[in-house]
Amino acid sequence: MQVSVKYFASLRELIGETTSIIHVEEGATVNSLWRSIIETKNVKFDNVMMAVNMEYVKSEHQLKSGDEVAFFPPVTGG
């Protein structure tokens, strides 16, 4: 199945992409997706925050086809 993935701020610059469509296996979690991304891109990134369909999720959250997944650093607004 496919999910769309967004990156923001310093992570967006590190990955060099804003959005991409990624194939994942049935049963994949947001964390397994994250692991495969940093392995493929060969990058290191601490304290990543994860959202699915614009809601924060835990790393063990299971993905569904068509999900919008977002990875980003700690937020610094306000």
Contacting residues toward other proteins, per CB under 8 A:
6, 8-10, 51, 54-56, 70, 72-78
Q: Which is nearer to other proteins, 23 or 47 (CB)?
A: 47
Judged by DSSP in three states, 9 sits in: helix
Please report which residue ranges of 1-78 form alpha helices under DSSP H: 9-15, 30-41
Can you give the C-alpha Rg of the chain in angstroms? 12
Please state the closest distance from residue 18 (CB atom) to other proteins, in A.
11
Please state the closest distance from residue 77 (CB atom) to other proteins, in A.
3
Q: Which is nearer to other proteins, 25 or 56 (CB)?
A: 56
Check: CB of residue 70 under 8 Å from CB of residue 51: yes
